Chain A
Amino acid sequence: MSYSGGHILIGSQREGQISRFPAWVMLVVPLAAILFQVYVPLFFEFLSFLEMPLLVVVYFALMRRSQIGGLMVGALVGLAQDSLSKNPLGMLGIVNTLVGYFAASVGLRLDVDHPLIRMLLTFFFFLFHQLFYWLMARALLGQQLAFEIQRTLVLGLLNAVVGVALFHFLDKLRKAT
Chain B
Amino acid sequence: MESFLNRYRSITVLLLVIFAQLVLVAFQVKTDRDVRMIRVWTVTAVTPVARIVEALRGGSTGFLRNYILLHDAHQENLRLQAELGRLKMANNDLKNELSMADRAKALEVFQSHTPSKTVAATVIGIGAGTNSKMVFVDRGTVSGVERGMAVVTPDGIVGKVITAYPTASAVLLITDPDFAAGVVSQKGQVHGTLKGQGTPICRVDYVPFEEKVEPGEWLYTSGDDRIFPRGFPVGVVKVVRSAQPFKEVLVDPSGMAGGLEDVLILVEGVHQAIPDTPPANQAIFIGPPPPADATKPPVNPGNAPPGTPVGTEADKLRTQYKDIGDAQGHKFGEGVPGSKPPDFNLRPGPVSTPAGQPAGAGGRAPAPPPASKSAPPPGGALHP
Residues of A within 8 A of B (CB): 31, 34-35, 37-39, 41-42, 48-49, 51, 53, 67-68, 71-72, 75, 79-94, 97-98, 101, 140-141, 145, 155
| Of B34-42, B67-75, B347-355, B364-372, the one touching chain A | B34-42
Q: How many A-B contacts are there with CB distance less than 8 Å? A: 121
Report which of B39, B49, B162 forms a contact with A89, defined as CB distance below 8 A: B39
Query: B176 to chain A: which residues have CB within 8 Å?
Result: 86
Q: Are B49 and A31 in contact (CB under 8 A)?
A: yes
Q: Are A93 and B21 in contact (CB under 8 A)?
A: yes
Q: Could you tell me the distance in whole angstroms from the C-beta of A16 to the nearest C-beta in chain B?
A: 16
Taking A84-B128, A89-B34, A101-B14 as known contacts, 13 extra A-B pairs with beta carbons closer than 8 A to each other, sorted by chain A number, are A37-B128, A39-B125, A42-B123, A67-B13, A68-B9, A68-B13, A71-B14, A83-B39, A84-B46, A89-B25, A94-B18, A94-B21, A140-B26
Residues of B within 8 A of A (CB): 9-10, 13-14, 17-18, 21-22, 24-26, 28-29, 34-35, 38-39, 41-43, 45-46, 49-50, 53-54, 123-132, 134, 136, 162, 170, 172, 176, 178
Alpha-carbon distance A10/B43, docked complex (angstroms): 41
Q: Are A97 and B172 in contact (CB under 8 A)?
A: no
Given contacts A85-B128, A97-B17, A97-B21, contact A79 B38 (CB under 8 A): yes
Query: A87 to chain B: which residues have CB within 8 Å?
Result: 129
Secondary structure at chain B's binding surface: helix, strand, loop or mixed? helix
Q: Are B43 and A83 in contact (CB under 8 A)?
A: yes
Q: Are A83 and B17 in contact (CB under 8 A)?
A: no
Secondary structure at chain A's binding surface: helix, strand, loop or mixed? helix
Alpha-carbon distance A98/B17, docked complex (angstroms): 10
Query: B49 to chain A: which residues have CB within 8 Å?
Result: 31, 35
Alpha-carbon distance A175/B131, docked complex (angstroms): 37
Alpha-carbon distance A34/B42, docked complex (angstroms): 10
CB<8 Å pairs between A and B, sample of 20:
A35-B53, A38-B50, A39-B53, A42-B123, A48-B126, A49-B130, A51-B130, A67-B13, A79-B21, A79-B38, A80-B46, A83-B41, A85-B132, A86-B132, A86-B178, A87-B129, A89-B21, A90-B25, A92-B129, A97-B14
Alpha-carbon distance A93/B35, docked complex (angstroms): 14
Query: A39 to chain B: which residues have CB within 8 Å?
Result: 50, 53-54, 124-126
Alpha-carbon distance A42/B142, docked complex (angstroms): 24
Q: Are A38 and B125 in contact (CB under 8 A)?
A: yes
Given contacts A91-B25, A97-B14, contact A34 B39 (CB under 8 A): no
Q: Are B29 and A81 in contact (CB under 8 A)?
A: no
Query: B22 to chain A: which residues have CB within 8 Å?
Result: 90, 94
Closest to A96 in B: B21
Given contacts A80-B42, A83-B41, contact A89 B17 (CB under 8 A): no
Given contacts A35-B53, A97-B18, contact A83 B10 (CB under 8 A): no
> Of residues B28, B43, B124, which shows the largest number of chain A Cβ atoms within 10 Å of its Cβ?
B28
Alpha-carbon distance A74/B179, docked complex (angstroms): 30
Q: Are A35 and B126 in contact (CB under 8 A)?
A: no
Query: A41 to chain B: which residues have CB within 8 Å?
Result: 126
Given contacts A34-B46, A38-B125, contact A86 B13 (CB under 8 A): no
Closest to B134 in A: A86
Top 9 A-B residue pairs of the complex, sorted by shortest distance between their CB atoms: A83-B42, A90-B21, A67-B10, A38-B125, A88-B28, A90-B25, A90-B24, A84-B128, A81-B128
Q: Could you tell me the distance in whole angstroms from the C-beta of B238 to the nearest C-beta in chain A?
A: 21
Query: B29 to chain A: which residues have CB within 8 Å?
Result: 88, 140-141
Q: Are B25 and A140 in contact (CB under 8 A)?
A: yes
Report which of B53, B54, B170 forms a contact with A86, defined as CB distance below 8 A: B170
Alpha-carbon distance A87/B18, docked complex (angstroms): 17
Q: Are B25 and A34 in contact (CB under 8 A)?
A: no
Closest to B41 in A: A83
Closest to B50 in A: A39
Given contacts A35-B46, A98-B18, contact A86 B162 (CB under 8 A): yes
Q: Could you tell me the distance in whole angstroms from the C-beta of A61 to the nearest C-beta in chain B?
A: 12
> Of residues A67, A90, A141, which shows the largest number of chain B Cβ atoms within 10 Å of its Cβ?
A90
Q: Are A84 and B43 in contact (CB under 8 A)?
A: yes
Q: Could you tell me the distance in whole angstroms from the C-beta of B6 to the nearest C-beta in chain A?
A: 12
Report which of B9, B17, B45, B123 forms a contact with A75, defined as CB distance below 8 A: B17
Alpha-carbon distance A91/B46, docked complex (angstroms): 19
Q: Are B43 and A42 in contact (CB under 8 A)?
A: no
Query: A97 to chain B: which residues have CB within 8 Å?
Result: 14, 17-18, 21
Closest to A42 in B: B126
Query: A81 to chain B: which residues have CB within 8 Å?
Result: 128-129
Alpha-carbon distance A84/B18, docked complex (angstroms): 20
Q: Are A101 and B10 in contact (CB under 8 A)?
A: yes
Report which of B14, B35, B53, B129 forms a contact with A85, defined as CB distance below 8 A: B129
Closest to A37 in B: B128
Q: Are A38 and B14 in contact (CB under 8 A)?
A: no
Q: Could you tell me the distance in whole angstroms from the C-beta of A141 to the nearest C-beta in chain B?
A: 7
Closest to A41 in B: B126
Query: A75 to chain B: which residues have CB within 8 Å?
Result: 17, 21
